[in-house]
Structure 1
């Protein structure tokens, strides 16, 4: 009885808080937002998430994963990050590189802090407050990326402990408001308690109050569907509760099987498609024993799909059949990327050289106070089976993380070699690779050499 009184009091306080915060001016609309219970982009185009999770924090060397995920049709990738409580913290530079990789591969980037998993049950798990501390440390890496990035505050932030779970609504609301106060204008994604499965109905029953407490009205709820969702009727009941209430929901994780029971993945995929809700499968690759069956590909090899990978990508209501690229990248709807700003540095493009077997074009696609993002497009003059691009970095410049190529440096000399999947090009065909780097205040326009 005492617990019920505390919960009721918490709900009343949440509603009072919501009424108070609604008197504050809302942030300007930028990037994704929630409209009538739907996730839409800045131009008002409906966006339905179809994606998978990638365990970046444990496998940072798997730099080709996002390109592979995109090649199978996904429009979103949910990227696992660490805030440092349980695993090595991902730096702001690393987060910026991940965002750049998402953009280079035309994927919407949902970033999540994994250290919160199972708080109350799991020793060492981080609190939502600690997750917010991390987001503030890496804020520069995501600021201005509201068109491309969704912030999943913390993965499965409460376990099954009832005494701890009664704080889910207040802790989630506080986390949302701390981020808003700090200037986060992104769509925020919040996970359910009970290791994400919400079997207690805590998120379901308190979602409206939490949504109302967001001064931007831009929060999406995420349920993880594993063994609790073995019956189609359970899946339908949960999903329709949110759609009937006009509240935004995604299935932020699900799989083909699980240690706590066999989820009905067919029902999850069919009814999210019927209701126009997003889903994200767990996970691309790298799951350890005894849940290797949750890998979609074996050993991060895009050509080695597992039964789960075949199901989610190529089965009925799967990603290949239902995914639509985000309008910001040119999918249906009005593109929302603003025109390119006038460059503040010397020209950063070099025209493709038609001589030889291949040519290369270099351009700076983004820059910040001490860093930048670059892109090189390689075009074959004849049929080739591989390529190498070299250039000399300008004074104070250094190349860091790269994708779609292996990039190395020796002093100022930079060498980029094709990835296994983009070396073979027919005459006239092009491919591109990207990278992040640092600079000392100015950026050069290097001359490139391409050989095959």
Structure 2
């Protein structure tokens, strides 16, 4: 969608041409026959990261993972960083994050911001689906970026995302083709996938359908096997956006059936219960997805110009809408069906280090807990630190950490901690949900952005 951005309130694009969809499903299945055989035999499984096995998305521990989540429009609402924790607390296992490549008037997401988002997703035990939104409606929407331009953006993010394949999927471009010449989607998407692999990305790649994501002309339904075959890693996940084109339950069923017959993986990357005054078969989407093990990401947590598709108003978990009730509380909604990715079982994800990172030496303390700061990234004028607490022999129900800066550093922002800073001394404590750590276990508990250059002060930890 693009009417979710305050600068683009209109919604003219998603045309109610659902009659064409049901009529053409059989044609799509025939057209695709044989093409899916072009997929790489025995798709290469990325070591320790997400990968595709037939129609199923498999996580880094080798277990099936079914997305049940919502979307956070970060590039438009960077001040609403607490949304990640709120979505996790509400039960979501996935968050799709709106980023900007700088081609549209809503701004550019920096590598530092992406690093911060990824670390927060990991801290909140969310699988992070990152998407470039500037491609929305290319060929029809003025100023929209091409998929090739989106890949330029991802190339600039490679150093930040390399090594995060257990926690991050890359959605190359949101709704990358409008309704003008939707057939261009196939080659443009295959080229984008091939180029992402040539850059070095080993992540599961998510590709959105044309026709503003709704694929009413069946381009993706017909040519998905060709795009899948273009991926040398065999690790491409297809995403359809289901709005008013999918107002009839049978249309949803037919689309799911065709992907199942082709043996290709599919998620519903966006949907709502109504859009532009027309109902969407949301109950069928949820029921069929549950029965078939298809993931979905409902649009959207908050921040839309049309509050009908806000699940919560004003980024406030206490202001749930009827759509929020459907997405979260219905029989097959998030609360009743979402399961955490097994990479988070029993603990927070392990630290990921790259050459040049600095890590403090843990203070032995008094046996209750120790702590360390990992310098996740340093861009000269500022840097990001992540704090990990390790419990001693006994379980922790809370923690407090303290350190003194070696000189010149100061914190400009922080998350997931009750933090104060005075005279070069920093004191931080848990915020409740992140205070419990099992004896002998480690947990990345909070993060911060600081000025003054990356530093490795000695950190003290006490049980609270």
Specify the TM-score bucket, using the shorter chain as the normaliser: 0.7 to 0.9
Alignment counterpart, residue 169 of structure 1, candidates 186, 192, 198: 186
- Structure-2 separation of matches of 1:98 and 1:81: 10
Deviation, structure 1 residue 337: 5.6
Gaps of at least 5 residues in structure 2 are: 1-30, 392-397, 437-442
Taking structure 2 as the reference length, what is the TM-score of the superposition? 0.79
Task: For 1:9-408, list aligned pairs within 5 A.
Answer: 28-86=46-104, 87-161=106-180, 163=181, 165-259=182-276, 261-288=278-305, 291-330=306-345, 345-349=359-363, 351=365, 362-364=371-373, 367=376, 371-375=383-387, 391-395=403-407, 399=411, 401-405=413-417
Q: Which moved more, 1:261-270 or 1:386-395?
A: 386-395
Separation in 2 of the partners of 1:55 and 1:434?
A: 21
What is the Cα deviation at residue 324 of structure 1? 0.8
Check the 8 A contact 1:39/1:48 in 2, yes or no: yes
Local SS of the residue matching 2:275: coil
Query: Partners in 2 of 1:29 and 1:388 — Cα distance?
Result: 36
Asked if the contact 1:398/1:437 (under 8 Å) is kept, the reply is yes
Q: Deviations over 1:307-354 (max 9, x none)?
A: 11111111110111111100100079xx9969999x974413574898
State how far apart, in whole Å, the 2-side matches of 1:387 and 1:204 are: 52
- Find the aligned partners of 1:440 and 1:117 in 2 and give their Cα distance: 37
2:122 and 2:178 map into 1 onto residues whose CA distance is: 33
User: In the alignment, what sits opposite 1:6?
Assistant: none
CA RMSD of aligned residues (A): 3.8
Distance 1:441 1:402 in 2: 15
**Separation in structure 2 between the aligned mates of residue 442 and residue 68 of structure 1, nearest angstrom:** 30
Displacement after TM superposition at 1:43 (Å) = 3.2
Residues 28/233 of structure 1: CA separation in 2 closer, same or farther (3 Å cut): closer
1:436 deviation in Å? Answer: 4.8
Count of aligned residue pairs for this structure pair: 416
Q: Which residue of 2 aligns with 1:3?
A: none
- What displacement does 1:184 show? 0.2
- Supply the distance in 2 between the matched residues of 1:103 and 1:301 (Cα, whole angstroms): 22
> Taking structure 1 as the reference length, what is the TM-score of the superposition?
0.81
Residue 7 of structure 1 is matched in structure 2 by none
Deviation of residue 422 (structure 1)?
6.2
Deviation sequence 1:178-220 (CA, Å, 0-9, x none): 1100000000000000100000000000000000110000000
User: What is the rounded CA distance, in whole Å, between the counterparts of 1:22 and 1:293 in structure 2?
Assistant: 42
Instruction: Sort the Cα spacing of 1:103 and 1:352 in 2 relative to 1 into closer, same or farther, 3 A.
Output: farther
Distance 1:440 1:366 in 2: 10
SS of match in other structure, 2:255? helix
Is the alpha carbon distance of 1:30 and 1:167 closer, same or farther for their aligned partners in structure 2, counting shifts above 3 Å?
farther
